[in-house]
Each structure stands twice: as structure tokens, then as C-alpha cells.
Amino acid sequence: MSTDTPAPADNSAELQAQLEALEERLTDLEAAEGDDQKQMTIIATKGSLDMAYPPLILASTAAAFGWDVVVFHTFWGLDILHEEKSKKLKLSAVGNPSMPMPNALAALPGMDAMATKMMAKKIDDNGTATIEELIELSLESGVDLQACQMTIELMGYDEAEFYDGVTTGVGAATALQHMADADVQLLV
């Protein structure tokens, strides 16, 4: 009989330990495969009334489906997150091909104010959520509404002027990292 053969009791304990280690690895792998949460990054660059709705509607809807959503607001898109400015977003009548008036007429003084007033009435009459309500819904749904730090400084905004829950101090590198990992990337 060879002296190199381990005793059956030692072999059994070693096999049991290996089996437990393999079961643990399998559980980890199954958990990693089961983590199929979709990710979406939206870059919001425009702060007009008609351009504030798409990123907030898409973000809150994706969050309702359980997606990990980031909306990075930069340049004029930052006005969407600014408590005071978000309540005064305007609709530009000039250069909007869907506007039911020619550009020459849309360029007349007061036409932007009239177009904004008409859209605000349409939003109210239809019972459509306001920008403020969509921001609140997005934040409650776990959407990470981010304000570009460089733009905050460029525009001279104070971080306290943004809605509670907005993430500040975020740069382009952070937005790009989330975009690189995201399943869906949108520029609005």
C-alpha cells in the first residue's frame, strides 16, 4: 500500500470544501448573469420649454421600468434643474419647423411669449405634468439628475438654486463613464 494516498476522511473533507467553493462561485456567476438592469444616459443641452420635456419623460419612464438612469444637464439644459428658471422656460417660435407659422412671422416681437403662453395653456388643458412635477417624479423614481459643474461655474449659478436631490459637482468625465457603460445614450 502506498503512503502517498490520503486517508479517506481527509479526502472527503477536501472534496466537500472544493464543492462548497464551486457552489459559491456558481451562485456568484448566476447573480452576475441575472443582473441585466439596463442603463441609460441622457445629455440635456437645451433649456427651452419644448426641449425640457423629452429628457424628463424618457428618464422617468425608463426608471419606472427599473433602469439605471442618469440625465447630465449642461449649458442651457442646466436651466431645467434651476428652480426659478425651470418655471419660466420659453418656447422659441423661430426656427421651429413644426411651429404653425412662418419664420418671418415668428420673428416678430412678442411671438415667443405668445407661443410659450399657447403651449402652457395646451399643457394645462391636457393635464400634462409640469416640468417641476416631472423633476420630482424623476428624482422619486431614482433618476440621477446631474448638473454639469463647469456649466454651473460658467453661468454663475449657485448650487443651492437647483432642486433638492439634483447631483452637483459632476463633470464630463463622470458623464462619459456612465455613457460608456450604458445600453442607451441620448443627446437631447
**Helix 111-126 vs helix 49-64: crossing angle, to nearest 10:** 30
Q: What is the CA radius of gyration of the chain?
A: 26
- Residue 168 pLDDT: 95
Q: What is the mean pLDDT of residues 136-153?
A: 96
pTM value > 0.85: no
Reported as a single tens digit per residue, the pLDDT across 52-92 is 999 999 999 999 999 999 999 999 999 999 999 999 999 88
Q: In 3D, which of 129, 60, 116, 124 has the Cα closest to residue 89?
A: 116
Cα dist. 106→50, 89, 103, 162 in Å?
A: 16, 17, 5, 32
Of the given ranges (15-19, 26-30, 108-112, 133-137), which has the lowest mean pLDDT?
A: 26-30
* Eight-state DSSP code of residue 41: E
Tell me what the pLDDT averaged over the chain comes to.
87
